[in-house]
Each structure stands twice: as structure tokens, then as C-alpha cells.
Structure 1
């Protein structure tokens, strides 16, 4: 009798797993696999997010302070976007443009609020790649500790440091989910 109960439970778990995987597949755009044996399978980003180099990005149009934007990203299992290459920055610019048809400002995850001039990313990754507009970051007024993109001054659409209490849209990033 115990064997029958265990078998029934095992079948139920397998059925639920199959059903859950079917639902998960319907919520994703495509699948990719780094290994033909099924190891390291990843789902693409869910609806509304765009994929680039194993990460999912989303533009958040609601204007928020830097801290509110970071908290909003964290509620989605993400962080404000960190940027590690020209290609990644171009992707972020495209994400903003596709959502707004402009090169509008958006918070990214850079800050030097802990120590002036020592920049870090909110996701903990190393702040090595930099794309500051000329003369930036300048800590204008002594209170510009948060990075945003698409500055727009003098034709430069790279980064500026702004006051963290300023409200603007943002970009969140998270790793591409594993299956």
C-alpha cells in the first residue's frame, strides 16, 4: 500500500512539474541552451523585458528618485542597470528609445554616495567601464551622487551624475532565468 501511495505521489509531482514547465514556457519568448545534453538551459526574458548577453532589461517609465527606482527594481528581482561595455550601453539606449521614441534620461545603478568619487554599481559588480560626458561626473552643487544616462548636454548622450532625489525613469536588469 505504501508503494502505491509513493508511486501516486511521484506521478502527481511529475505531472505538476510538467504543467509548471509548460506554463513557464508559455511565459517566455524563446529558449536557448549552451549544452545539447540539456545542461545550462536558460529561458529568455519574460514579456516586457529584453535580453542582451544573458541579462534581461526593462525600462520603467514612472519617474522616481534613485532610491525608489532601485527599490522598484528589487521588487522585480532586479537592480538598476549596471553597464560593462559599449555594446551593453548601446543596448540600454535602444531599450529607452524603443519605449519612448526619445533619448530621455533614465537612472542606471551607479552611485558614489558612500564616498565621493568612488563609484560602485548597485548590483555589486565592479565599476570599471565608464561612459561619462565630458566634465562629468562633477558633483555639481555638492550633492550629485547618482548616475543617469542620456544626459543630452552639448550633444553628449552618455552619463551624468545627478541629485539622487531627482525623479526620472529608470532601467532595471536581472540575469536571464534558468529553466
Structure 2
């Protein structure tokens, strides 16, 4: 009978061979940058629909936490020609008005708001803007936008790494 330790070593060896053959750390359709994988949707949805799509793919709406990450994402969306007015990111001020946080409750440690944003659409108080998006009209800088509007979105997940060391 094989010991548990030997089974672990064999599984790790198999994983390292598989990883050597396939060096992709992101699922098909996702782009790798740093320690994350990103999926840029070609479909549109409300903030809630976008969040559900991302969860289905084992990811979450993107959280931009550095200038490097922001530059990467903005360079990718600037290259698309799909006419989307913007892309949902995973930030809202739904918990506390005028305090944007990433879903899950972490604060924005980095931001790239367009000048004058977020403004909660102060010119039209009938329409509240509680969700964070990259807005094409503002050169894909950050903007608060009505959560019910349908725009493209960006999903993010951690890049996979092998857990075995032989």
C-alpha cells in the first residue's frame, strides 16, 4: 500500500510536469499581468449582472490597486473598438454614500478618478451614481455611474501557481 507522503510526491511531480508543458497561469480568454488574470468582456451588463458573470468564472470585478495595474488595464481598453462607453470595476459607494470601496469592503488604496469625479450626478439628482467604471468619455479614467446601466466589464482573478516544491 502506498503511503500518503509518496502519493503527495507523485502528485506534485505530475503537477510540475503538467505546469512545464503548459506555462499558462490564467484560464483561456484571460490576460495575465502581475499576479492577476483579467477578462475583458465583449458583452454588456448592469453592475449586478457583471458581478454575477465574474463570479461564474471564479473571479470578481477588477480592483485596480496600483498605477502599473491601471496603466495595463487602460492600455487594453484603449485598444478595443467595441464602442462601449466604459467598463465596470468592482467599486461602489452603496454601503456609505461618497465613500467608494472595493467589493468585499477593502478601501481604495489607489484611485484614478477623472477630474470632478465622483460627483453622484449632482446635475441630475434623479439619477444616482453608485458604481465605479472606466469611462471612455474621460479617457478611461474613473467615473461613478448608475449601477443599472449596461456597459462592458472587467473580471479579475489570481494567477494560478503550483503549490508543490520537490
The interval holding the TM-score normalised by the smaller chain is 0.7 to 0.9
Any conservation in 1 of the 2:100–2:107 contact (CA below 8 Å)? no
Q: After TM superposition, list the pairs within 5 Å mapping 1:57-96 onto structure 2.
A: 57-96=38-77
Of residues 137-146 and 14-23 in structure 1, the stretch that sits farther from structure 2 once superposed is 14-23
Say whether residues 1:172 and 2:128 are aligned partners.
no
C-alpha distance in structure 2 between counterparts of 1:83 and 1:68, whole Å: 20
Q: After TM superposition, list the pairs within 5 Å mapping 1:114-133 onto structure 2.
A: 114-133=95-114
Greater helix fraction, Structure 1 or Structure 2: 1
What are the ranges of 5 or more consecutive residues in structure 2 without an aligned counterpart?
none
What are the ranges of 5 or more consecutive residues in structure 1 without an aligned counterpart?
1-5, 30-43
Render the CA deviation track for 1:119-166: whole Å, top value 9, x for unaligned: 11125433121111111111113510001003414xx43011110000
Q: What count of residue pairs does the alignment treat as equivalent? A: 157
Give the 3-state SS of the residue equivalent to 1:132 in structure 2: coil
C-alpha distance in structure 2 between counterparts of 1:133 and 1:28, whole Å: 38
Give the 3-state SS of the residue equivalent to 1:70 in structure 2: helix
The TM-score normalised by the length of structure 1 is: 0.73
* Distance change (3 Å), C-alpha of 1:102 and 1:62: closer
Match of 2:145 among 153, 156, 162: 162
C-alpha distance in structure 1 between counterparts of 2:64 and 2:3, whole Å: 50
Moved over 3 A (4+): 7-28, 101-104
* Distance change (3 Å), C-alpha of 1:8 and 1:118: closer
Give the 3-state SS of the residue equivalent to 1:133 in structure 2: coil
Greater strand fraction, Structure 1 or Structure 2: 1
Of residues 101-110 and 57-66 in structure 1, the stretch that sits farther from structure 2 once superposed is 101-110
Any conservation in 2 of the 1:79–1:123 contact (CA below 8 Å)? no
The CA RMSD measured in Å over matched residues stands at 2.6
C-alpha distance in structure 2 between counterparts of 1:95 and 1:45, whole Å: 17
